[in-house]
Amino acid sequence: MSDQTAQPHGPPSDRVRVRRKPERGHYDRATIDAILDGAIVGHVGYLIDDQPFVTPTAIWRQGDRLFWHGSSASRMLRATKGGVPVCVTVTQVDALVLARSGFNHSLDYRSVMVLGRAYELTDETGVLDALRAFVEHLYPGRWDELRPPTRQELKATSVLWMDLAEASAKIRDIGAHDDPGDETWPTWAGSIPLTTVVGTPKPDPFVPAGMTSPTLSRAVARR
């Protein structure tokens, strides 16, 4: 995909319009959803008494909603529920980019920014469905193998969501770029790909011999 690729979809709002290098902006849901579905961690930005905070947390998508969860005692969750404005970002770095000048060093990446308001799921069925989706997002088929959550565990867990109506993606995937005339400067230039490597699962001491380890979802594994 080139920086010059025409984008058929416009931004859903001016707030999420990509201004710096606008040709890198993508506003179609297929692109946005693919980046979100390959993510494990997102960063939730919010205000408490005019002080900005950004908290990393596990995120997952269900249809037109983005979810995150945590302890009901969490300051972040208590501060953001109830329709509070938030900004959630996700970034996947694909390569380190080296040019022949320090100014032109860069990264190849895929990122998403979502603006909106955070709301808490309050009914037990909705919370269970969301937590199931969280586990299945990472490990397909695993939820049905687990001990059901207790009422106390559900009480201690908060699940928040925001809709994806106001979101944009920004992608750089062009590799190295030099200013005209720099090509002859005698130093190495190019890109160094970065990938997520899935290691060998390490069972705990109570796993019976020969039991198959969980399968990581394809969307996450191919990050």
Neighbour count for residue 132 (Cβ, 10 Å) = 16
SS3 helix, strand, coil % of the chain, rounded to 5? 25, 35, 40
Mode of pairing for the β-strands spanning 25-26 and 190-193: unpaired
CA distance 79 to 48: 7
Residue 198 CB-half CA count within 13 A: 13
Helix (H) or strand (E) holding 149: none
Q: Which two tokens stand for residue 116?
A: 């909106």
Is residue 80 a part of any domain in this protein?
A: yes
- Under the banding of pLDDT at 50, 70 and 90, the label for residue 223 is low
Is residue 4 a part of any domain in this protein?
A: no
Tens digit of pLDDT for each residue in 79-116? 888 899 999 999 999 999 999 999 999 999 999 999 99
Is residue 205 a part of any domain in this protein?
A: no
Residue 52, pLDDT score = 95
Is residue 125 a part of any domain in this protein?
A: yes
- Residues 160 and 68: beta-carbon distance below 8 Å: yes
Domain range for 43: 14-177+190-197+212-221
pLDDT at 11 over 80: yes
- 57: CATH: 2.30.110.10
